[in-house]
Structure 1
Amino acid sequence: MAIAIHLPYYATSLRHDQLAEALEALTPELLRLGALEVRVDRSKDDAYRFRQVIHVASKADWPRIWNSEPFVAFRTTKISWYQKPLAYEMYETISAGTAPGVVDVLAEDPYASPADAVVAGSASA
Protein backbone atom coordinates (compact mmCIF):
# COMPACT_ATOMS: atom_id res chain seq x y z
CA MET A 1 0.00 0.00 0.00
CA ALA A 2 1.17 3.56 -0.68
CA ILE A 3 2.90 5.69 1.93
CA ALA A 4 1.41 9.09 2.79
CA ILE A 5 3.82 11.87 3.68
CA HIS A 6 2.21 14.67 5.72
CA LEU A 7 3.81 18.11 5.76
CA PRO A 8 2.23 20.71 8.03
CA TYR A 9 2.82 24.35 7.10
CA TYR A 10 1.94 27.45 9.08
CA ALA A 11 2.26 30.61 6.99
CA THR A 12 4.05 33.64 8.35
CA SER A 13 2.34 37.01 8.67
CA LEU A 14 0.39 38.00 5.55
CA ARG A 15 2.00 35.24 3.44
CA HIS A 16 -0.87 32.74 3.59
CA ASP A 17 -2.22 33.45 0.10
CA GLN A 18 1.27 33.43 -1.44
CA LEU A 19 2.04 30.14 0.28
CA ALA A 20 -1.24 28.67 -0.98
CA GLU A 21 -0.37 29.64 -4.57
CA ALA A 22 3.17 28.27 -4.26
CA LEU A 23 1.97 24.94 -2.85
CA GLU A 24 -0.59 24.71 -5.65
CA ALA A 25 2.11 25.39 -8.26
CA LEU A 26 4.38 22.74 -6.70
CA THR A 27 1.74 19.99 -6.98
CA PRO A 28 2.21 19.14 -10.71
CA GLU A 29 6.00 19.15 -10.23
CA LEU A 30 5.73 16.54 -7.48
CA LEU A 31 3.46 14.41 -9.66
CA ARG A 32 6.02 14.55 -12.49
CA LEU A 33 8.66 13.38 -10.00
CA GLY A 34 6.69 10.23 -9.23
CA ALA A 35 4.24 11.11 -6.48
CA LEU A 36 1.06 9.06 -6.87
CA GLU A 37 -1.18 11.79 -5.44
CA VAL A 38 -0.63 15.23 -3.93
CA ARG A 39 -3.18 17.12 -1.87
CA VAL A 40 -2.91 20.49 -0.20
CA ASP A 41 -5.58 21.27 2.37
CA ARG A 42 -6.15 24.65 4.00
CA SER A 43 -7.73 24.93 7.41
CA LYS A 44 -11.24 26.36 7.45
CA ASP A 45 -10.57 27.62 11.00
CA ASP A 46 -7.15 29.19 10.41
CA ALA A 47 -6.26 30.48 6.92
CA TYR A 48 -2.55 30.32 7.79
CA ARG A 49 -2.56 26.54 8.42
CA PHE A 50 -1.96 24.09 5.53
CA ARG A 51 -1.35 20.36 5.23
CA GLN A 52 0.32 18.88 2.16
CA VAL A 53 -0.16 15.13 1.74
CA ILE A 54 2.03 13.36 -0.80
CA HIS A 55 1.38 9.69 -1.57
CA VAL A 56 4.32 7.65 -2.84
CA ALA A 57 4.50 3.99 -3.83
CA SER A 58 7.14 3.15 -1.25
CA LYS A 59 9.25 4.73 1.47
CA ALA A 60 12.25 4.46 -0.88
CA ASP A 61 10.58 6.90 -3.33
CA TRP A 62 10.34 9.73 -0.80
CA PRO A 63 14.01 10.89 -0.65
CA ARG A 64 14.08 11.30 -4.44
CA ILE A 65 11.07 13.64 -4.26
CA TRP A 66 12.10 15.47 -1.05
CA ASN A 67 15.62 16.12 -2.41
CA SER A 68 14.51 16.97 -5.95
CA GLU A 69 15.41 20.32 -7.48
CA PRO A 70 11.81 21.63 -7.54
CA PHE A 71 11.13 20.71 -3.90
CA VAL A 72 14.48 22.03 -2.66
CA ALA A 73 13.94 25.24 -4.64
CA PHE A 74 10.47 25.62 -3.13
CA ARG A 75 11.79 25.17 0.41
CA THR A 76 14.72 27.54 -0.05
CA THR A 77 12.97 30.34 -1.95
CA LYS A 78 9.81 30.28 0.18
CA ILE A 79 11.57 29.73 3.50
CA SER A 80 10.32 33.03 4.95
CA TRP A 81 6.71 32.19 4.03
CA TYR A 82 6.20 29.46 6.65
CA GLN A 83 7.27 28.68 10.19
CA LYS A 84 10.13 26.27 10.79
CA PRO A 85 10.93 23.53 11.26
CA LEU A 86 9.20 21.84 8.34
CA ALA A 87 9.10 18.25 9.53
CA TYR A 88 7.34 15.54 7.57
CA GLU A 89 5.65 12.46 8.98
CA MET A 90 5.12 9.16 7.17
CA TYR A 91 1.82 7.32 7.42
CA GLU A 92 0.62 4.01 6.10
CA THR A 93 -3.03 3.99 5.09
CA ILE A 94 -4.86 1.21 6.87
CA SER A 95 -8.35 1.99 5.64
CA ALA A 96 -9.93 4.12 2.91
CA GLY A 97 -13.33 4.45 1.33
CA THR A 98 -15.62 6.64 -0.71
CA ALA A 99 -19.37 7.00 -0.39
CA PRO A 100 -21.48 5.27 -3.07
CA GLY A 101 -21.88 7.43 -6.17
CA VAL A 102 -19.01 9.80 -5.40
CA VAL A 103 -16.98 10.39 -8.56
CA ASP A 104 -14.52 13.06 -7.37
CA VAL A 105 -14.49 13.95 -3.69
CA LEU A 106 -12.67 17.23 -4.45
CA ALA A 107 -15.08 18.44 -7.14
CA GLU A 108 -17.66 21.15 -6.54
CA ASP A 109 -20.28 18.44 -7.15
CA PRO A 110 -18.66 15.20 -5.96
CA TYR A 111 -21.43 13.09 -7.53
CA ALA A 112 -21.14 14.53 -11.07
CA SER A 113 -19.13 12.59 -13.60
CA PRO A 114 -16.51 14.53 -15.61
CA ALA A 115 -18.76 14.16 -18.68
CA ASP A 116 -21.66 15.75 -16.76
CA ALA A 117 -19.43 18.68 -15.79
CA VAL A 118 -18.54 19.33 -19.44
CA VAL A 119 -22.19 19.16 -20.51
CA ALA A 120 -23.26 21.39 -17.64
CA GLY A 121 -20.47 23.85 -18.45
CA SER A 122 -21.33 24.01 -22.15
CA ALA A 123 -25.05 24.37 -21.44
CA SER A 124 -24.43 27.50 -19.39
CA ALA A 125 -22.15 29.04 -22.02
Structure 2
Amino acid sequence: MAGTVVVPWYATGFRGDAFEVALNEVAATALRYGASSYAVYRARDDRYKFQQLASFTEHVDWERYWDGPEMIYFRARHSSWYQVPVLYGWWDLTAAGAVAPEPVTSGNGGGNGIATGESA
Protein backbone atom coordinates (compact mmCIF):
# COMPACT_ATOMS: atom_id res chain seq x y z
CA MET A 1 0.00 0.00 0.00
CA ALA A 2 1.33 3.43 -0.94
CA GLY A 3 2.63 5.67 1.79
CA THR A 4 5.12 8.33 2.71
CA VAL A 5 8.03 7.73 5.02
CA VAL A 6 8.92 10.61 7.32
CA VAL A 7 12.44 10.56 8.75
CA PRO A 8 13.16 13.11 11.47
CA TRP A 9 16.85 14.07 11.60
CA TYR A 10 18.56 16.32 14.13
CA ALA A 11 22.01 17.59 13.16
CA THR A 12 24.73 17.97 15.76
CA GLY A 13 26.29 21.32 16.67
CA PHE A 14 27.72 23.40 13.84
CA ARG A 15 26.95 20.64 11.31
CA GLY A 16 23.55 21.86 10.13
CA ASP A 17 24.65 23.38 6.83
CA ALA A 18 26.93 20.51 5.83
CA PHE A 19 24.30 17.98 6.92
CA GLU A 20 21.72 19.72 4.73
CA VAL A 21 23.92 19.34 1.64
CA ALA A 22 24.65 15.66 2.33
CA LEU A 23 21.02 14.83 3.17
CA ASN A 24 19.72 16.55 0.04
CA GLU A 25 22.06 14.43 -2.08
CA VAL A 26 21.17 11.08 -0.52
CA ALA A 27 17.44 11.88 -0.39
CA ALA A 28 17.36 12.13 -4.19
CA THR A 29 18.57 8.54 -4.53
CA ALA A 30 15.17 7.36 -3.26
CA LEU A 31 13.91 7.81 -6.83
CA ARG A 32 16.22 4.98 -7.93
CA TYR A 33 14.41 2.65 -5.55
CA GLY A 34 10.90 3.40 -6.79
CA ALA A 35 9.96 6.51 -4.82
CA SER A 36 7.43 8.66 -6.64
CA SER A 37 8.66 11.77 -4.83
CA TYR A 38 11.00 12.95 -2.13
CA ALA A 39 11.51 16.13 -0.13
CA VAL A 40 13.74 17.49 2.59
CA TYR A 41 12.54 20.22 4.93
CA ARG A 42 14.64 22.27 7.36
CA ALA A 43 12.96 23.95 10.32
CA ARG A 44 13.14 27.72 10.49
CA ASP A 45 12.94 27.93 14.27
CA ASP A 46 15.59 25.24 14.87
CA ARG A 47 18.13 25.07 12.04
CA TYR A 48 19.40 21.67 13.21
CA LYS A 49 16.02 19.97 12.69
CA PHE A 50 15.25 18.25 9.35
CA GLN A 51 12.39 16.17 7.97
CA GLN A 52 13.07 13.82 5.07
CA LEU A 53 10.04 12.54 3.16
CA ALA A 54 9.84 9.87 0.48
CA SER A 55 6.69 8.40 -1.06
CA PHE A 56 6.67 4.76 -2.12
CA THR A 57 4.01 2.46 -3.56
CA GLU A 58 5.42 -0.55 -1.70
CA HIS A 59 6.98 -0.62 1.76
CA VAL A 60 9.60 -3.08 0.50
CA ASP A 61 10.94 -0.38 -1.85
CA TRP A 62 11.48 1.89 1.15
CA GLU A 63 13.34 -0.91 2.92
CA ARG A 64 15.53 -1.42 -0.16
CA TYR A 65 16.35 2.30 -0.13
CA TRP A 66 16.98 2.54 3.63
CA ASP A 67 19.16 -0.59 3.61
CA GLY A 68 20.76 0.20 0.23
CA PRO A 69 24.41 1.10 -0.25
CA GLU A 70 23.81 4.85 -0.54
CA MET A 71 21.97 5.13 2.78
CA ILE A 72 24.32 2.75 4.57
CA TYR A 73 27.27 4.86 3.39
CA PHE A 74 25.47 8.09 4.32
CA ARG A 75 24.66 6.92 7.84
CA ALA A 76 28.20 5.59 8.40
CA ARG A 77 30.04 8.54 6.82
CA HIS A 78 27.95 11.15 8.63
CA SER A 79 27.30 9.27 11.88
CA SER A 80 28.69 12.12 13.97
CA TRP A 81 26.62 14.69 12.07
CA TYR A 82 23.20 13.69 13.48
CA GLN A 83 21.68 12.49 16.72
CA VAL A 84 20.53 8.92 17.20
CA PRO A 85 18.25 7.10 17.29
CA VAL A 86 16.66 7.96 13.94
CA LEU A 87 13.07 6.73 14.18
CA TYR A 88 11.26 6.95 10.85
CA GLY A 89 7.55 6.30 10.32
CA TRP A 90 5.31 5.14 7.47
CA TRP A 91 2.47 7.63 6.97
CA ASP A 92 -0.77 7.49 4.97
CA LEU A 93 -1.99 10.60 3.18
CA THR A 94 -5.48 11.56 4.38
CA ALA A 95 -5.93 14.93 2.65
CA ALA A 96 -4.04 17.19 0.25
CA GLY A 97 -4.56 20.31 -1.79
CA ALA A 98 -2.70 22.86 -3.86
CA VAL A 99 -3.19 26.08 -5.74
CA ALA A 100 -2.08 25.97 -9.36
CA PRO A 101 -0.02 29.01 -10.41
CA GLU A 102 -1.26 31.23 -13.22
CA PRO A 103 0.26 30.27 -16.59
CA VAL A 104 2.93 32.62 -17.92
CA THR A 105 1.78 34.54 -20.99
CA SER A 106 4.01 35.78 -23.77
CA GLY A 107 4.71 39.47 -24.29
CA ASN A 108 3.91 41.41 -27.46
CA GLY A 109 7.17 40.36 -29.11
CA GLY A 110 8.48 43.91 -29.28
CA GLY A 111 11.26 43.09 -26.86
CA ASN A 112 10.79 46.24 -24.79
CA GLY A 113 8.88 44.54 -21.97
CA ILE A 114 5.86 46.81 -22.35
CA ALA A 115 2.60 45.11 -23.19
CA THR A 116 0.09 46.74 -25.51
CA GLY A 117 -1.79 49.50 -23.74
CA GLU A 118 0.84 49.99 -21.03
CA SER A 119 3.10 52.97 -20.67
CA ALA A 120 6.53 53.29 -19.09
TM-score, with length taken from structure 2: 0.80
- For the pair shown, the structure with the greater C-alpha radius of gyration is 2
Letter in 1 for 2:44: K
Letter in 1 for 2:86: L
In 2: Cα distance, 1:112 partner to 1:87 partner: 41
Unaligned runs of 5+ in 2: 107-112, 114-120
How many residues of Structure 1 are paired with residues of Structure 2 in the alignment? 107
- How big is the shift at 1:26? 1.0
- Conserved? CA contact 2:27–2:52, under 8 Å: no
- Root-mean-square deviation (Å): 2.1
Which residue number corresponds to residue 78 of structure 2? 78
Letter in 2 for 1:89: G
Which residue number corresponds to residue 42 of structure 1? 42
Unaligned runs of 5+ in 1: 103-110, 117-122
1:94 pairs with 2:97: no
Which residue number corresponds to residue 24 of structure 2? 24
- How big is the shift at 1:89? 0.6
Which residue number corresponds to residue 118 of structure 2? none
Higher share in helix = 1
Bigger drift between 26-35 and 5-14 goes to 26-35
Letter in 1 for 2:76: T
In 2: Cα distance, 1:29 partner to 1:49 partner: 21
Which residue number corresponds to residue 58 of structure 2? 58
- How big is the shift at 1:28? 2.5
TM-score, with length taken from structure 1: 0.77
